[in-house]
Amino acid sequence: MKKILHLSSYDFGGAGMAAYRLHCNLRRAGFTSRMLVAQKREADDDVLQVGENAPSSRLGTFLAKARLKFCSDQDYYFQDQTRSILAQPGRILEQVGFTPDLIVVHWVSNFVSAADVRALSLSCGAPLIWYLLDMAPLTGGCHYAWDCIGYFDTCGSCRALRSINSYDRSHRIWREKAKALAGIEVAVASGSGWLDRQARNSSLFRGREIRKILLSVDPEVFRPLPKSEARQDLGLPQDKKVLFFGNQGLGLKRKGMTELIEALRLLSLDPSFDAGSVLVAVAGSLPADFELPLPFKGLGFLKGDRMLALAYQAADVFMCPSIEDSGPMMINESIMCGTPVVAFEMGVAPDLVQPGRTGYRARLGDSADFARGVRELLALDAEEGAAMSARCRELGLELLHPVRQVDAFRDLMLAVERRQQGRNGEAT
């Protein structure tokens, strides 16, 4: 397979950037690769913005967001995944300029539906790889299922919809997706071991080819750098221990802000902990009344990978307090920079945060254990800290290098190709 078409709602943001990085990695490896997106920011001729930008389409997007806010439990991030902004999905290939050998589906909410994906696959005879970046492809609507296992079966009685009806909208969406996936060759790439297990339990993808392929990180951008240099560039003090975390939504329960603040409060109350020797660096926009139990500095929005890398490079510890997540990719980036991570037992943390070697994994939702992890990493002496940083970088190069991702993807492509050839042979 040489010609690859990617479908992604965006080429920016967490999921969009993950899709764009894979597109670039495959292109560098010699594949012909193009992306179709609903919204584009990259100055890349191989990224094509498609879809309807008419008032009716914008109205549909607005209504979808309104339904999310008012008609569902926002902690589940429920979306109507049968919604599409493509007027004629079968004609989209005319804009691509080639007939793809493979279609890779990334995060496509409010862009293309499973029915669109089916139409594209059938129109060019190309198999699919669905790259899981959250749970949306596995469920009847939610991106994060928490402890609900409705997606093991056919959804319905949906907690996200506060429903007791077995044939509610989540079941109807599940049924439409099952219909769209029937009879076409689909494999799954999971961005973490956490997602990999969820995919294997999903009724929609059970029995398909499923591989864990961690999201890659550019080792030339996300690399170790003397902390003094990074701190000077970001205006951070040289004489303090720096804890870093990214504000990805202060109001999102799943991002664990409540648990993080409690962990920092416990640290501040610990008489053996010198709160004055620590500064918390926070990326992202912060409200005027934002407060933390420890001294902090807002870094604002860090535009571009190089600015984001500086924050990891400046930090002694990266804190990831997510309590319901499929990643986040920030853990991958921190590890590649050589910065140890404290995270809850969630998402990609079990893949990359090795206790005592590359960081500390706290019991899920246990703020006291999270605080214990932060305290332990900050207590490392210079030699121990340097050794842990080196192990982080070594693990990043081993598991997260773009070449590793491309090789794993190439293996999955071959497996998909063999399965499709077998399916075609059975049909004849």
> Is position 177 within any domain?
yes
Whether residues 17 and 146 fall in one domain: yes
**Distance between CA atoms of residues 202 and 197, nearest Å:** 9
Percent of the chain with pLDDT over 70: 92
* Phi-psi sector, 75: left (phi>0), alpha (psi -120 to 50), beta: alpha
Whether residues 102 and 54 fall in one domain: yes
Q: How many domains does the chain have?
A: 2
Whether residues 50 and 72 fall in one domain: yes
Whether residues 129 and 270 fall in one domain: no
pLDDT confidence bin for 358, thresholds 50/70/90: very high
> Is position 358 within any domain?
yes
pLDDT recorded at residue 418: 86
Whether residues 200 and 292 fall in one domain: no
Whether residues 271 and 314 fall in one domain: yes
pLDDT in tens, 93-114: 788 889 999 999 999 999 999 9
State the CATH number of the domain containing residue 125.
3.40.50
Whether residues 395 and 411 fall in one domain: no
130 exposure class (CB count in 10 Å sphere: 0-12, 13-18, 19+): buried
DSSP-assigned states of every residue in 5-67? EEEEEESSHHHHHHHHHHHHHHHHTT-EEEEEEEE--S--TTEEE-S--SHHHHHHHHHHHHH
Residue 286 belongs to domain spanning? 227-399
pLDDT in tens, 157-185: 999 999 999 999 999 999 999 999 999 99
Q: Which residue type occupies 221?
A: V
C-beta separation of 318 from 342 below 8 A: yes
> Is position 9 within any domain?
yes
pLDDT recorded at residue 54: 47
> Is position 222 within any domain?
no
Q: Is the pTM of this model over 0.75?
A: yes
> Is position 68 within any domain?
yes
Whether residues 58 and 207 fall in one domain: yes
pLDDT in tens, 274-309: 999 999 999 988 888 889 999 999 999 999 999 999
Q: Is 50 exceeded by the pLDDT of residue 55?
A: no
**Distance between CA atoms of residues 412 and 414, nearest Å:** 5
Whether residues 31 and 114 fall in one domain: yes
Whether residues 246 and 174 fall in one domain: no
pLDDT in tens, 119-131: 999 988 999 999 9
Percent of the chain with pLDDT over 90: 82
pLDDT in tens, 377-396: 999 999 999 999 999 999 99
Whether residues 392 and 412 fall in one domain: no
> Is position 169 within any domain?
yes
> Is position 166 within any domain?
yes
State the CATH number of the domain containing residue 248.
3.40.50.2000
Whether residues 61 and 185 fall in one domain: yes
Question: Is the pLDDT higher at 89 or at 322?
Answer: 322
pLDDT confidence bin for 360, thresholds 50/70/90: very high
